[in-house]
Amino acid sequence: MNRVTRFSIARPWTVIVGWIIIFLVSAAGAIQLDGALSAGGFTNPRAEALTTQADVEKAFGDQPNQIIVAVDSKTAQDAGGLAPLVTVLQDAGASTITGPAQNTKFLSADRKTAVIVAGFGGDNTAVQNKVPDLQRSLGGKIADASVYVTGQPALDYQLNVHSKEDATRAEMIVFPFLIVVLLLVFRSVVATLVPLLMAGTALAVASALGFVATRFTDISILYSNIVSMIGLAVAVDYSLFIIKRYRDELAAGKDTVAALETATKTAGRSVVFSGIAVAVALVALFIPNVMAFTSIALGGVLVTLVAIGLSVTVLPAGLKLLGGRINWGTIKLPFGRGREDAAKGGRRTLAGGRRPALVGLLGVAAMLLAAVPVLSISLQSPVASATVLPSGDPAREGLTVIDRNIGHEGLFPIQIVVSAPAGTSTQDVAERVESLTASAKAKAGVAAVTSVTSTGASPAQVQAALGNPQTAASFKGLWSEQNGRTTARILVDTVEGPDSVRAHELVKEFRSDGAAAPAPFTVRVTGATAQGVDFDETLVGSIPLIAGLVVVLTFVMLAFAFRSFLLPLLALFFNSLVVLASVGLLTGLLSLGGSAPLNSVTPILLFAVMFGLSMDYMVIIMSRIVEAFRSGSDFHVAVTTGVRATRSMINSAAIIMVAVFVSFSSAQISIVREIGFGLAIAVILDALVVRMFIMPAILRAAGPRVLGRASAGHGSDGPAAGETAAEEVAALPTHDGAPAPESAGVH
């Protein structure tokens, strides 16, 4: 028992009052978090698309924020009829306006649907915050017409709104369910309330820390989702482990202090070990260095560390003050111990029976079968797409109306940017543009190509036109000369839209073509689709580093805990099975629902989170197996004993985690749904398939050598002098070598 926990038990009121002050201060910061978070974050600011975009904005005077207004009227419209909308946009700060008068493609054939693109300078967040006012102001300006504010700033703003709603909805769904589960586990009102108080405090403190972080850097809206998702799961589970062990010790006849000392030395150390494992795994998500992942990593790490802090300070202090009153409000349920004992007696072959190797192989084969869809997985982050938003959202409806009645041409083109240094002739640049234009037109999936040569003008004619001020004006937005450097761009509209798989493929093809351009030309590709490609490639390129860091750190932690090298290897194998199978099942389900490809964020996040969370189950089960084996039990009996003795606790913890993650599958934002559903699948597979069947079967087949030095002292009456951390982590108390009677539990 460390000094912090010892102090908490000795001075409980000091600790609790201190945490109450922290909670009250945190609450003041937590309520300001949502307004300080930033939307977006699914781009790599160091990659080609965004660095090129910055150069394009300087060369052509493009504004960084483009708000799109869609007008869907019952009567035909003209440029004059749209004037009130233009006035509102200009009053709001728009520096550029492009409508049907400037681009005939922005008016439908029946003239009932029109598009206005307004360019805004300044900070992205400031422009996003204009969206609700613009939606209200523009809505009633044209009779018999629906007006929708969309475009990237509007999509980002609505993502922020729905993210907050999703987190709140998930918490409202899951808290009642947690109450029911904890009541079934503890059968005590007081014991049920304590984990919920721990979870609420963890969320408040982590949210406040997130608000502080926004003062120094941009934090994604996903921060609040991951804090709720991970925080509820770990805070409740960690409290469950400690409280359950504490109540078991009380039931065994120990006084409050002795019961607390045992609970904190065993379950408490397990919680610290598991929490650090979760935090370490999530730290790997900082590697891509993009805002969305950095925010997810920060939120997950902070809320996990806060949960650990609460578990080793305020929870022991609270239990010290409660003493035996932790059992107050006992609820008698219609089923009792007899059913539990019968269930245990009927599962003596849980660890593989007489053929553990066969059971293990069959289990592994089933998991690998579930992972088969991974072989055809397609990863892609959504770009210039409103499908991440719920139907009925104005930003989504606006893009839907435009795509249905006008098409997406001219709104989110792929931009091929040709640059040449001072001294390069105009004709040479025009010839390079002509070559790239012809190549783009010839590619499958291209709907239209616009450049200075796309109308059929020869390079010589382009040179002559640029030499005439009157004709040169017609090339505005396609050709720029600044400080002797020439920049030309080719705008490519795709048949299937900017978010299609083919559009992503075209970006890669254009970049490949550009790489072959002769000196002194530089050819780069930008646009919304290119930004999505760069983000996906950044994540995919980070996978080896993320996986390597998580695997190495997990191996080292388990090797330290169990003094075994074979056991960590098996743990990595089990964790890999869970991740592959859960991603495979998620991919297959999305394919059946027509929602493929999978968001590129999801599998990496599943990998990092599940490698950390799996530590809970691994440490608890293996600790109980080691304890039974060291007390003199046959290895096969020890495996079965360890699995049986920890089954109810692991099942309860898994139910809690699944409930939390499933609650987020109701989210309106598609990526949050994917993450929540994927994590729920992973926890079910990990707790019910791997830890209850595959792991014990393989352990029995491998024999006692799998324990390595952890098996030292086998057959002794007590722990050997060199006992490891594994022998000290959570294990159910024993009486005469048998599992302790549980005060309550779900089985």
- pLDDT at residue 728 is higher than 70: no
Of the candidates 416, 479, 475, the residue with the CA atom closest to the CA atom of residue 443: 416
Q: Average model confidence (pLDDT) for the chain?
A: 83
User: Which residues sit opposite 113 in a β-bridge?
Assistant: 72
Give me the pLDDT at residue 297, please.
92
CB 236 within 8 A of CB 655: no
pLDDT tens readout for residues 31-55:
998 888 887 777 888 999 989 988 8
Q: Rounded to whole angstroms, how far apart are CA atoms 694 and 708? A: 20
Give me the pLDDT at residue 426, please.
84
Give me the pLDDT at residue 740, please.
38
CB 500 within 8 A of CB 412: no
Give whichever of 65-74, 122-131, 207-216, 369-378 has the largest mean pLDDT. 207-216
- pLDDT at residue 739 is higher than 60: no
Question: Residue written as tokens 């040479």?
Answer: 428
pLDDT tens readout for residues 350-383:
445 567 888 889 989 999 999 998 887 777 777 7
pLDDT tens readout for residues 120-137:
987 777 888 888 889 888
Give me the pLDDT at residue 738, please.
35
Give me the pLDDT at residue 643, please.
86
| pLDDT tier, 27 (very low <50, low <70, confident <90, very high otherwise) | very high
Q: Which CATH class is domain 62-150?
A: alpha beta
Total residue length of the chain: 747
Where do the CATH 1.20.1640.10 domains begin and end in the chain? 3-31+157-331+359-383+533-739
| pLDDT tier, 534 (very low <50, low <70, confident <90, very high otherwise) | very high
- pLDDT at residue 171 is higher than 60: yes
Read out DSSP for 577-620?
HHHHHHHHHHHHHHHHTT-PSBPTHHHHHHHHHHHHHHHHHHHH
User: Which residues sit opposite 282 in a β-bridge?
Assistant: none
Q: Rounded to whole angstroms, how far apart are CA atoms 370 and 367? A: 5
CB 294 within 8 A of CB 38: no
| pLDDT tier, 715 (very low <50, low <70, confident <90, very high otherwise) | low
Q: What is the mean pLDDT of residues 515-522?
A: 86
Give me the pLDDT at residue 734, please.
36
Q: What is the mean pLDDT of residues 19-39?
A: 89
Phi/psi at 730 (5° precision)? -55, 130
User: Which stretch of 111-125, 213-227, 664-678 has the lowest confidence by average pLDDT?
Assistant: 664-678
- Strand, coil or helix: what is 188? strand
Give me the pLDDT at residue 384, please.
66
pLDDT tens readout for residues 642-667:
888 888 888 888 888 898 888 887 77
Read out DSSP for 297-365?
HHHHHHHHHHHHHHHHTHHHHHHHHHGGGGG-SB---S--HHHHHHHHHTTTTTT-TT-HHHHHHHHHH
Q: Rounded to whole angstroms, how far apart are CA atoms 264 and 314? A: 12
Give me the pLDDT at residue 257, please.
92
pLDDT tens readout for residues 260-303:
998 898 888 888 888 888 898 899 889 988 888 899 999 999 99
For domain 413-526, give the CATH number: 3.30.70.1440
Give me the pLDDT at residue 400, please.
87
Calculate ∠ Cα 294-299-305, nearest 5°: 125
Q: What is the mean pLDDT of residues 591-617?
A: 77
Instruction: For domain 3-31+157-331+359-383+533-739, give its CATH number from 3.40.50.300, 1.10.150.300, 3.40.50.720, 1.20.1640.10.
Output: 1.20.1640.10
Calculate ∠ Cα 173-178-183, nearest 5°: 140
- pLDDT at residue 429 is higher than 50: yes
CB 468 within 8 A of CB 479: no
What is the Cα 307 distance to its own chain's centre?
19
Question: Residue written as tokens 């560390």?
Answer: 305
More confident site: 22 or 736: 22
Q: Rounded to whole angstroms, how far apart are CA atoms 219 and 671? A: 17
- pLDDT at residue 727 is higher than 80: no
Amino acid at 734: T
Q: What is the mean pLDDT of residues 680-706?
A: 88
| pLDDT tier, 589 (very low <50, low <70, confident <90, very high otherwise) | confident
Here the tokens at position 348 are 């003596």
Where do the CATH 3.30.70.1440 domains begin and end in the chain? 413-526
Amino acid at 395: A
Q: What sign has the CA pseudo-torsion 495, 499, 502, 507?
A: positive
Of the candidates 462, 439, 446, the residue with the CA atom closest to the CA atom of residue 516: 439
More confident site: 650 or 11: 11
| Residues above pLDDT 70, as percent of the chain | 90
CB 602 within 8 A of CB 671: yes
User: Which stretch of 34-38, 141-145, 736-740 has the lowest confidence by average pLDDT?
Assistant: 736-740
pLDDT tens readout for residues 319-353:
999 999 999 988 876 654 444 443 444 344 444 55
User: Which stretch of 127-131, 355-359, 483-487, 502-506 has the lowest confidence by average pLDDT?
Assistant: 355-359
User: Which stretch of 167-181, 199-213, 236-250, 516-530 has the lowest confidence by average pLDDT?
Assistant: 167-181
Question: Residue written as tokens 């590619």?
Answer: 443
